[in-house]
Homo-oligomer: A and B are copies of this chain.
Amino acid sequence: MKLNIAVLPGDGIGPEIVAQAQKVMDAVAVKYNHEIVYTNALVGATAIDKVGNPYPDETHEVCMNSDAVLFGAIGDPKYDNDPKAKVRPEQGLLAMRKKLGLYANIRPVTTFPSLLDKSPLRLDIVEGADFVVVRELTGGIYFGEKGRSEDLKKAFDTCTYTTEEIERILKLAFSYAGKRDKRLTVIDKANVLATSRLWRETAQGMEADYKDIEVDYMFVDNAAMQLIQWPKKFDVMVTENMFGDIISDEASVITGSLGLLPSASVGVHTSVFEPIHGSYPQAAGKDIANPIATVLSAAMLLESLDLLEEAKAVRDAVNQSLDAGVVTEDIAKDDNVSKTSEVGDWLANCI
């Protein structure tokens, strides 16, 4: 099979970690007889610095022509905490989501036994947690009309959702649940918001089509509590954009393995695979960043192209590296610390 992969390394540690994922994918290509063509493109602060736009048209073209996008991370301190800055890296991210129609962000949250002692939760609470957060990514208050009154003393944001938008992501969530433990939690604020009531009605209307899935509904404030109290009770959670931003980030820290968690943003035109963690600028260029989350994102990428055996080989390699203690300093148990590039080499070798 021939794969066209767009590679958007982005800022900070992005280039280093993406390079390791490519090494691993190259090893997969050799072993399973695929051809991978990579096309690099600019995104984020790097793109602002070079061409004045965090998601340039050329980058969009590269993505549109790809089977999948491998993404690093974006964000640079010089643009942080400055809500008034004219162009910000995040705008590139939002433009990319909208233009590629990346309507669903998928975040599997799993625990790694060797990392459980890094969890802020008690072992008995978190051990064995294994769920997926499905976040709507191109609608809601992120993309609704927004602005300021003329005297600047009043601001507004609008959250909108259509039945179609809601059905599309719920279908995806139901299908994830179908492949897992067959339980779906729809998170909303239907006791307050009109959009949430539309979400709930739409989901209720779809229940009959998925008789094997057990659906429950939870208010977002309650979900924020239960995620900490009983993370093991969840299988698939699905929610709108803003709630998903909060809930999926909350979910990502409970296992202590934030640095290892991958994500997929499923799109209409192509899909984007990236680690959950940020661009970690302090570590950039030092060959110390943990590449595992990006490597596992590559596994999700392979899976999305139905290369299931290949994806499994990548996951197995990751588990072996963790068992063997071939890891970067952030998760090392002793003085035995590997560099970013060494972990990448080791994983590629394992394939």
Contacts and interface: CB of A to CB of B under 8 A. Distances in A.
Interface stretch (A155-163, A174-182, A299-307): A155-163
Contact of A228 (B83, B196, B253): B253
A246 B59 CA distance: 36
A192 B224 contact: no
Contact of A225 (B119, B159, B249): B249
B122 A156 contact: no
Interface stretch (A8-16, A103-111, A142-150): A142-150
Contacts of A88: 191
B161 A155 contact: yes
Contacts of A282: none
Interface string A239-263: 0001101110110111000000000
Interface stretch (A23-31, A42-50, A215-223, A332-340): A215-223
Interface in A181-215: 189-198, 200-201
Nearest to A249: B221
Number of copies: 2
B253 A225 contact: yes
A320 interface: no
A120 interface: yes
A33 interface: no
A217 B195 CA distance: 28
Contacts of A229: 120, 253
Nearest to A154: B162
Contacts of A220: 245-246
Interface string A48-88: 00000000000000000000000000000000010110001
A31 to B, nearest CB: 37
Contacts of A120: 121-122, 125, 228-229
Contacts of A144: 156
Given A162-B153, A200-B83, A228-B254, A222 B249 contact: yes
A148 B201 CA distance: 13
A120 B176 CA distance: 28
Contacts of A189: 242, 245
A130 interface: no
A83 to B, nearest CB: 4
A287 interface: no
B198 A225 contact: no
Interface centre among A159, A220, A247 (most CB of B within 10 A): A159
A119 to B, nearest CB: 8
A194 B246 contact: no
Nearest to A221: B249
A310 interface: no
Given A81-B217, A154-B160, A147 B194 contact: yes
Contacts of A196: 83
27 contacts: A81-B217, A83-B191, A83-B196, A120-B122, A120-B228, A121-B228, A142-B192, A146-B193, A153-B164, A154-B160, A154-B161, A155-B161, A155-B194, A155-B195, A156-B158, A156-B194, A158-B158, A158-B159, A224-B224, A224-B249, A225-B249, A225-B250, A225-B253, A228-B250, A229-B253, A243-B246, A246-B246
The 4 lowest CB-CB distance pairs between A and B, nearest first, are A155-B198, A83-B190, A146-B194, A221-B249
